[in-house]
Chain A
């Protein structure tokens, strides 16, 4: 659809705007008339029509510009407002959290259904059904296309922040393909995070999210070796980390943590400890484990528990961490999550249990389509297979 529109505009940015407009028009029209039989075609047609209108308008504008005091163009504020309106509509509390995230990634960020499905560890068919269901609910229940009133804002913020963060992590480690990072997604996540920070400067979790993105992204350039293979935190060249981004992110952390820290602020605090440590070994692992403990009280996620286990392995040794991993495996919620066998493999390797480690590396490889991650895993597998 974007490609179809680019053909008309000859400019990707303008095309994106037209596509954006089409979604906005779609939401209005579908609320009024119901979702059309072929929503994709409907959207493409609308987006292309918008693009043609825009081109015509531009030509007229150029001809008449000297006569006009104020050209009728949408301002930057209009576009930002539009984005936020769409974002908050997709994250409406009447939609299930899963649907909010999926819909935002699809409509606001333009991810494909397959990409979203991969990020959520579910099949494409399931994700397609989820998105369709959510769109139908917006239309049938008449969820209004607008940003929340000021008093509703805090309540509706967490969903939006979750979506922005997920967008970043999807871009940060593209689930499939030969590049580890999808810069476009990462940049979109930053745009949204900064926009939210401008609009809600007093929200601690907005600050926490931006800090987390900055501190994580500061390591972007060092995450892959020259051959494209993924480099783990322990292997990265800390001299190459983006100190400007780290300084900006770290400066946001104290304010974000003040008075009952939320999950983004706590994750940012953990990221700051990593970013400011001289080496992997000389990281304040004890304090990181402590922060993970607090994080687990506000966010009981098996993925957080897995990350905590890695910190425990550095503070107390791999054996202590392995017990946590076994419990997580038995729990079953992380079935199919590639970082579970990858983490277990690393712990087993550090304990010298190479045969068991190799089996886990193989399992992780089976779950990973990303070429950079596969490179890293294969190298470890070779190491323990020798």
Chain B
């Protein structure tokens, strides 16, 4: 098994004006995802939703600036750390991951010995 980071990128605007029902629906989708992963032979090792990039602070050396490291139209909004057999398995899990109108990026996690 190998570890992958699933980065969920979505338009933040959608969530700025989201209704209570939309939040509930999203929560239900994520709950379903956390059940689907083990059913598919994978494992969720962790994951969180993030505050929007308007709350981000970038620190580069001594320079501290307001905002995200890179400005993008669709911003990183949440992540999961999952365990999968290989990339095809991880892609299959990523396809189940809720991301609204956005999408997810899959990053293999580097295995460090010792």
- List A residues at the B interface (Cβ < 8 Å): 92, 94, 140-144
B96 contacts chain A at the CB level, 8 A cutoff: no
The chain A residue sitting closest to B91, CB to CB, is: A94
Q: How far is the CB of A94 from chain B (nearest CB, A)?
A: 6
Q: How far is the CB of B80 from chain A (nearest CB, A)?
A: 16
A312 to B80, CA, bound (A): 56
9 A-B pairs besides A94-B91, A144-B85, A144-B89 with CB distance below 8 A are A94-B87, A140-B108, A141-B87, A141-B108, A142-B2, A142-B108, A143-B86, A144-B87, A144-B88
A144 to B90, CA, bound (A): 11
19 contacts between A and B (CB under 8 A): A92-B87, A94-B87, A94-B91, A140-B108, A140-B110, A141-B87, A141-B106, A141-B108, A142-B2, A142-B86, A142-B87, A142-B90, A142-B108, A143-B88, A144-B85, A144-B86, A144-B87, A144-B88, A144-B89
- List B residues at the A interface (Cβ < 8 Å): 2, 85-91, 106, 108, 110
Q: How far is the CB of B103 from chain A (nearest CB, A)?
A: 14
Residues of B close to A92: CB separation below 8 A = 87
A309 to B86, CA, bound (A): 47
Find the residue from A92, A94, A140, A142 having the highest chain B CB count within 10 A: A142
Interface majority SS (helix, strand, loop, mixed), chain A: loop
Q: How far is the CB of A297 from chain B (nearest CB, A)?
A: 28
The chain B residue sitting closest to A152, CB to CB, is: B88
The chain A residue sitting closest to B89, CB to CB, is: A144
Residues of B close to A143: CB separation below 8 A = 86-88
Residues of B close to A144: CB separation below 8 A = 85-89
Residues of A close to B86: CB separation below 8 A = 142-144
Q: How far is the CB of B35 from chain A (nearest CB, A)?
A: 23
Residues of B close to A141: CB separation below 8 A = 87, 106, 108
Residues of B close to A140: CB separation below 8 A = 108, 110
A143 to B87, CA, bound (A): 5
Residues of A close to B110: CB separation below 8 A = 140
A140 to B107, CA, bound (A): 9
A143 to B88, CA, bound (A): 7
A20 to B60, CA, bound (A): 48
The chain B residue sitting closest to A149, CB to CB, is: B88
Find the residue from B90, B108, B110 having the highest chain A CB count within 10 A: B108
Residues of B close to A94: CB separation below 8 A = 87, 91
